[in-house]
Amino acid sequence: MEAFVHVLHAVLAGAWLGGVAFTTLVVSPALKEMKWSVAERMAVRSVIGRHYARVGTANLSLLALFAVLDGIFNRGVMLYTEYVLLLVLFALTAAHGAYFGRRLRELAAAEREARDPAEARERAGRRLALQRVSFGVSMTNLAVSAVVAVLAVAAGL
């Protein structure tokens, strides 16, 4: 039972890392290459994000559950570190989905609906600044996810 819990813990951590890496390093750059308007790209990214959120939330929740179960069998400082990092991942993921995605979509729509070029440039500037922060959050999520995956594998060693 102990080995099964550990393997599932490690597999869930790998699946989470793979999903984060795929959306950050493949989906987002691919959408930037589309010849759609910014608002259209944001709308598509939002739909992808909503669908991925269902899978990702289930994955992250199961990862947390199996990290705790693995901790019952293999106590150690690494697991406590992983628990803290899992809380960080929940916070980063929630903030990204609840704030950044919604706000970027709103700014892209406002940019499209601007009455004059100066207003459109101002809104585009705000959107680009927020996109840079959002990218930083995504990269932080990716880095923390990689550490969690390493800790998940190392927990049973």
CA angle, 51 as apex, 46 and 28 as ends, to 5°? 50
Tens digit of each residue's pLDDT (9 = 90 or more) over 96-143: 888 998 899 899 889 889 999 999 999 999 999 999 999 999 999 999
The pLDDT of residue 151 is above 90: yes
Please choose, from the candidates 134, 152, 155, 149, the residue with its C-alpha nearest in 3D space to the C-alpha of residue 45.
134
pTM of the model: 0.90
Beta strands in the chain (DSSP E): none
Cα angle 38, 42, 47; round to 5: 150
Alpha carbons within 13 A on the beta-carbon side of 129: 6
Distance CA 123, CA 132 (A): 14
Q: Which residue has the tokens 């990092």?
A: 85
Cβ atoms of residues 67 and 82 within 8 Å: yes
